[in-house]
Amino acid sequence: MSDFLDPQDLEELVALRRDLHAHPELGFEEERTSAIVKTFLADCGIAVEDGIGKTGVVGTLKRGNGTTSIALRADMDALAMPETATERPYRSTVPGKMHACGHDGHTVMLLGAARKLARSRSFSGTVHFVFQPAEEGRGGAQAMVDDGLFERFSIDRFYGLHNMPGIPIGEMAVVVGPQLASSDRWEVTFKGVGTHGGKPHLGLDPTVAAGQFLSAIHTIVSRKVDPVEAAVVSACAIQAGDFEALNVIPDEVRIGGTARAYSHAVRDLIEAEIGRIAAGVAAATGIGAAYDYRRGMPPVINEADATQRALQAAQAALGTANVATAYPPSTAGDDFAIFSGKVPGAYVWLGNGPAQDGALHHNTRYDFNDAAIEPGVRFWTTLVEQELQAR
């Protein structure tokens, strides 16, 4: 496997990965990173378009007369958090910013594959290398779509990859169906009439409604969602009254939380049910309720045919025994869902080796494992060669 990339290329990719790690940039601020990406792609003779979704970059490589066109995504952004592994020679040079999700590695692996494919010309068709900004909750995928990603480039299938600590190096998981949950936020405000705590009959107490509401929302997952489907409804913030005024019933109680699901139908159901319970409890207690449900990221759901194609590539690249076809979905989210909601897509997990010191994604000691670069490049390259078979 070590002969796939020549040692000098691999050395260069490792050095670049560490350079990106040392210079993390937050979403939509990836000026330095996208400049490096642009130069790298251009040096490979790949057509480059930049400024798509502010700092996003798309490299396009077209060979032969194949008519299929696929897109591969790497995210480029870092997180607003400190890196605590001070012994790491290439640790973050920017206080409060860190590549704690491995997007430095994702960027480098896709660049490595782009160069390999530009040299080998071992395919016929079109591949778009999509370097996305602002994956970490800042809406980078949507910004690229709003800038005409799907109008400017024809894309038949979209593929995404994320590293996963706990999966051994040289192994992958390619699984059909839900991979990552939707992540939405909701708020309910119960509006009563405040009064003297000793004279509750003179007001309309919103805390009673809030109490009933808080226990009732847990019937959504247990009684409304199909038992074989997974979902989460959590209340995470409550605001009302004042501990300096324990003889005053407040006018309002504000409650907010998160909702997660792995299917569009369950997501719709949760949105409707929280609102129905809020309105029902308010009616029963004779007060008002305001309800706001804000949709964040949709769930990442791997389409069957694209997943099968990714699986075949992973098996060819790393060996059948090294590719799992079952892996538990994550309750985190990824806005790759925006891309794979438009065309068939698949999102795959690449082994990052053991979680060093228990450091998983978004941990201050996390690091992308450079030993994953070669298997990652190998997967991307094989996927393109298989998807765009030269005749």
Binding site for Zn ion (CB under 5 A): 101
Q: Which two structure tokens, joined as six digits, stand for 247? A: 């003889």
Nearer to Zn ion, 103 or 115 (CB): 103
Closer residue to Zn ion, CB minimum distance, 101 or 350: 101
- The amino acid at residue 313 is A
Write down the least CB distance from residue 190 to Zn ion, Å: 35
- Nearest distance, CB of residue 78 and Zn ion, angstroms: 9
| CB-CB contact of 306 with 124 (8 Å) | no
Smallest separation (angstroms) from Zn ion to the CB of 264: 23
- Nearer to Zn ion by C-beta: 106 or 378? 106
Please give the backbone phi and psi of residue 307, each rounded to the nearest 5 degrees, phi first. Answer: -65, -40
Give the C-alpha separation, 220 to 263, whole Å. Answer: 15
Instruction: Please state the closest distance from residue 258 (CB atom) to Zn ion, in A.
Output: 16
Identify which of residues 233 and 300 has a Cβ nearer to Zn ion in the complex. 300
Tokens, residue 319 = 């060996």
DSSP H helical ranges for 286-372:
304-318, 336-340
Start-to-end C-alpha separation, the chain? 26
Question: In the bound complex, which residue of the shown chain has the CB atom lying closest to Zn ion?
Answer: 101
SS3 (DSSP) at 114: helix
Q: Which of 226, 229, 187, 232 is nearest to 210 (CA)?
A: 187
With the C-alpha atoms ordered 6, 9, 13, 14, is the resulting torsion angle positive or negative?
Answer: positive
Question: Cα–Cα distance between 115 and 139 in angstroms, integer?
Answer: 28
Q: Specify the residue, 101 or 167, whose C-beta has the smaller distance to Zn ion.
A: 101
Give the span between the Cα atoms of 217 and 264, in whole angstroms. 19
d(CA 304, CA 323): 16
Q: Which is nearer to Zn ion, 316 or 355 (CB)?
A: 355
| Cβ 181 to Zn ion shortest distance, Å | 14
16 vs 39: CA distance, rounded Å: 13
- Closest contact distance (angstroms) between CB of 260 and Zn ion is 16
Instruction: State the nearest-atom distance from the C-beta of 131 to Zn ion, in Å.
Output: 14
Q: Give the shortest CB-29-to-Zn ion separation in angstroms.
A: 16
Q: Please state, as a whole number, how many other Cβ atoms lie within 10 Å of the Cβ of residue 187.
A: 16
Could you tell me which residues come within 8 angstroms of residue 28 by beta carbon, excluding any fewer than 6 positions away? Answer: 53, 54, 55, 77, 133, 134, 138, 140, 143
Based on CB atoms, which residue is closest to Zn ion, 125 or 165? 165
Instruction: Name the residue among 216, 213, 259, 215 with its Cα closest to residue 234.
Output: 259
Min dist. Cβ of residue 73 to Zn ion (A):
11
Angle CA 193–199–203, to nearest 5: 15
Nearer Cβ to Zn ion (107/189): 107
* Distance from C-alpha of 304 to C-alpha of 297, rounded to nearest angstrom: 21
Task: Select 101 or 297, whichever has its Cβ closest to Zn ion.
Answer: 101
Q: Minimum distance between the CB of residue 362 and Zn ion, rounded to whole angstroms?
A: 6
Question: Quick one: 36 or 101, whose CB is closer to Zn ion?
Answer: 101
